[in-house]
Structure 1
Amino acid sequence: MSKNQSNTTESSQTNVMATKTPLIEFKNGFPAELEAKTRQANYGELFLGGDISAYFNVRACEFMPTAVLPARQPVMPLATNLMPEVGQVKAEMTSESLLKGPLTLDQFLEQSDSAQGYLVVHKGEIVYEQYPRMRQEDVHLWMSSAKPMAGLLIDMLISEGKIDENAPITDYITDFKGTDWDGITTRDVLDMATGMDLEDTTESRFDPENVARRVYEAEFAFPNEKHGLETLTDVLKSTKKKEQPGLSFQYASGLTQMLVILAEAVEGERWPQQFDRRVWSKVGAEGSLQLHLTPEGIAAAHGLVSSNLRDFARFGMLYTPSWNKIASEQVVTDEILQRIHSEVRTHDFMMKGFDGAVFADYLGSNDFISNSRQWDMVWPDGDIWKGGLMTQGLYVSHERDLVIVYFNVNNDDHSGHRFARTIATSGLFDRD
């Protein structure tokens, strides 16, 4: 992507129709001209869900500086115990879908032009795995499903007494003192409850004056049409307070980046090295983990993280009783799990924000409690879910010892989210 290329205006970005070649044609590679188009793409085109998005999703390391975390443990392979009945679980399609539902998971993966991979792991065993439009070994962006990675490092520092989650975040990120971040606590940042004016909405992502858009432009070195070329740190420092903290869920990738900056300030160590030392070096992964960086070297942990689908599931398994089947030591402690499950805000808090209703529609479910510590949803049974742009997903059920992960390239139809909760509550994985 050309750093000197100007971004298009809001109207042109939102009105451009992304070219969508059937993904099956890209399963074994891409034409050279698509690489060239992606390199010249603007901010909006990268995330429209078309051909350029398909290329960027699996080739992000060609466009951004990337920290590569190798697999340091011997591979801890996942056993296979296939359950064909998982593929027969049915879900309704979203209202914008061109597919007619309800469809079984098998039918959806066959009929959807955007579905790439779907994996279900129960008690450390693969019970369902399909790659209709990608190769098993391909890496793919997790998008915002990566956000719990940043939350996990902060929770580890909280457990070690290095961070007081109820203290102002500027006690630790001292160069943010004197900005509107003064008084905002780490807990508020974890739960996206800061009241700061950087919420990700349909409008803010294309408003050149809004921090939400400026965050993304700074990460890709795209000049903002109002402010020019900015650094991520400067953009975040400029954020203004919109309301008092704790009033509503205001989803923002910039808040996840504040957690990255916080962890670096506390440890005096760059975030990729911390995550490698504390987490990934313990995992018996099949491949490397790619952490894509801003021009100033900050890990874009809010979503620009890539791996193959099985290793995505391995991260989810760290939150289950089967962690010892893929890791050399317990990373997600009982204390951290307890905080995720018990320190949850209210359903009303969740639904007051822009994305509360959006996530409910994605899932076809309104029976959740709220978000928690960078996870989008916590249900009364303790299950948690994190979704990502273009319909990526990570679903974890600790009680059922179940992990569900999936990759898609679609910003028009989010029906790919509809199966995770339905599979988990189907009765197939309830304990005897």
Structure 2
Amino acid sequence: MENIDPMDVPGAKVTLPISTAKKPFDRKFIADAKKYWSNMHMQVGGDHAMYYTGHLSEFLPTAVAPASGKVSVLERNLLKSVGETTFVRGDGSTSLPLDEYVNNGKQRLQGIMILQHGKVVYEAYPGMQPEQPHFWASTSKPTVGTLITMLEADGLIDVNKPITTYAKQLAGTEWDKVSLLNGLNMSSALDIAETGEAQMNPASVFQRFLAADFGVPNYNGVIENTVDVLRDAKPLPGEVPGEYARYSSLITKVLVWVIEEATGHSFIDNFNERIWSKIGVRNSFIVPMGSDGSAGAYGLNISLLEDLARFSLIFTPSWKVVSESQVISPQVLKTMQTSGSKEAYLKGDFTEHNWVKASFAKQGMPDRNSRQWDAVWDDGAMFKHGNLFQGLYVDPSRDVTAAYFSTCPVNLDPDILMGYIRQVAMNLQGE
């Protein structure tokens, strides 16, 4: 099968403003988007991707955790000063004011919400309606890291054991050498890193994995088995697990298997019982399922933006805004903030991500990744970035959180919203 440049597929380029996604798409556009649907086509972030990111459940089978109980109220305390925020970018230049950046359309931001003390201090929806669901991309990953940390606290999981103690599908392979903790912290020493090159290369292990998990043909026209692709992972020359932190969604897929094996229940049932049913959400939590029948919680979760914001609050002192009982114990939170290795983080590829380099001057850089969070600072704040520019920020000490959704091609300017959000959090604290 002849390889095709993913940018040459109809609907792969950006020709429509992001505000298009605020209204219903016409039938011809939808038909074309469905005709050319593929995981790769969605990831390039063109016009069709606007439909995929808001309607992903039309393309993959899903599991659903319904909204239940009384909806928790997110009060508004909108602050003009937040929209006026600027910050010093990684290159030393000063950013535009946040309002201007959010609404200029270039970043294809669709929705953003920033909260302090459980109240919304800033929100905007330049590319979606508040009631529209959207996929989380890799901001999904903390749901997996959180569940495993909760199961560990309950004595149901030992993170020092080989990951194949639980992910038995991979026993007898190089995965036997990877501890569950190293898997959580993405330091497997296997050739599964999710680099920018891998994202744009249909023949990469990353793209082969996504094709297999979506149940669609790979770059050679072959439908592969997800387990077989993962069993084929090879060690990186000269590396040992725990030494280098290298970003990979494939690890998170394996961690879903860990959760399901350790509990005997599906990911969605675990997440619903322990978290979603407890936080007064407005709408359902949806997760598309892989071809193997397990959740694609490495990057496919779907919800309203305000419900993602509710999820963010369970890590803060304002958890009472959304829950009658404390969902995340101090022990679980501390473990999530401190499990990563600063040395592995600095030696690996996390600091090479363009959103990190563009958002932070040297003195503001995060210290580590930890338990499926991309960035953790020494003050305990945590951030997770997602493909096509999604974000989730949790800052327990300042009691500030933020969430945002976008459909932005990877070849546009780097995402710098994290720089704004971090500056907002410090400004609100008077720092």
Distance 1:365 1:137 in 2: 36
SS at match of 2:67: coil
Aligned twin of 1:395: 393
Structure 2 gaps of 5+ residues are none
Aligned twin of 1:328: 324
Aligned twin of 1:404: 402
Aligned twin of 1:213: 207
Shift of 1:280: 0.7
**Residue 26 of structure 2 corresponds to residue 31 of structure 1:** yes
Aligned twin of 2:183: 189
1:71–1:283 CA contact under 8 A, matched in 2:
no
Aligned twin of 1:415: 416
Aligned twin of 2:111: 117
Aligned twin of 1:368: 366
Aligned twin of 2:163: 169
Residue identity in the other structure for 1:351: L
**Residue 245 of structure 2 corresponds to residue 249 of structure 1:** yes
Aligned twin of 1:356: 351
**Aligned partner (choices 285, 298, 301) of residue 302 of structure 1:** 298
2:308–2:403 CA contact under 8 A, matched in 1:
yes
Aligned twin of 2:5: 12
Shift of 1:180: 1.0
**Aligned partner (choices 43, 63, 70) of residue 66 of structure 2:** 70
Shift of 1:341: 2.2
Aligned twin of 1:153: 147
Between stretches 53-62 and 358-367, larger displacement belongs to: 358-367
Distance 1:14 1:58 in 2: 21
Aligned twin of 1:142: 136
Distance 1:148 1:430 in 2: 29
Aligned twin of 1:276: 272
2:115–2:121 CA contact under 8 A, matched in 1:
yes
Counterparts in 2 of 1:227 and 1:24: CA distance versus 1, 3 Å: closer
Distance 1:364 1:120 in 2: 19
Counterparts in 2 of 1:208 and 1:18: CA distance versus 1, 3 Å: closer
Distance 2:304 2:39 in 1: 25
Distance 1:398 1:416 in 2: 19
Distance 1:76 1:265 in 2: 32
Shift of 1:34: 2.2
Post-superposition CA distance 1:135-171 (Å, at most 9, x none): 1111111110110000011111111111111111112
Aligned twin of 1:424: 425
2:89–2:358 CA contact under 8 A, matched in 1:
no
Post-superposition CA distance 1:107-157 (Å, at most 9, x none): 112212412111111111111111122111111111101100000111111
2:18–2:105 CA contact under 8 A, matched in 1:
no
Aligned twin of 1:3: none
**Residue 229 of structure 2 corresponds to residue 235 of structure 1:** yes
Counterparts in 2 of 1:389 and 1:365: CA distance versus 1, 3 Å: farther
SS at match of 2:55: helix
% identical aligned pairs: 33
Residue identity in the other structure for 1:342: T
Residue identity in the other structure for 1:218: A
Distance 1:397 1:130 in 2: 20
- With normalisation by structure 1, the TM-score equals 0.91
SS at match of 2:14: coil
SS at match of 1:44: helix
Distance 2:324 2:382 in 1: 24
Counterparts in 2 of 1:296 and 1:127: CA distance versus 1, 3 Å: same
Counterparts in 2 of 1:349 and 1:175: CA distance versus 1, 3 Å: closer
Post-superposition CA distance 1:76-98 (Å, at most 9, x none): 11111121111110146788xxx
2:40–2:207 CA contact under 8 A, matched in 1:
no
Distance 1:208 1:123 in 2: 44
Aligned residue pairs total 418
Shift of 1:406: 1.0
Counterparts in 2 of 1:52 and 1:425: CA distance versus 1, 3 Å: same
2:146–2:336 CA contact under 8 A, matched in 1:
no
1:119–1:310 CA contact under 8 A, matched in 2:
yes
SS at match of 1:203: helix
Shift of 1:365: 4.1
Post-superposition CA distance 1:29-69 (Å, at most 9, x none): 11222222221223322111221111111000111111121
Counterparts in 2 of 1:23 and 1:101: CA distance versus 1, 3 Å: farther
2:18–2:126 CA contact under 8 A, matched in 1:
no
1:201–1:355 CA contact under 8 A, matched in 2:
no
Aligned twin of 2:261: 265
Q: Over the residues paired in the alignment, what is the CA RMSD in angstroms?
A: 2.1
SS at match of 1:170: helix
Residue identity in the other structure for 2:139: S
Distance 2:352 2:98 in 1: 24
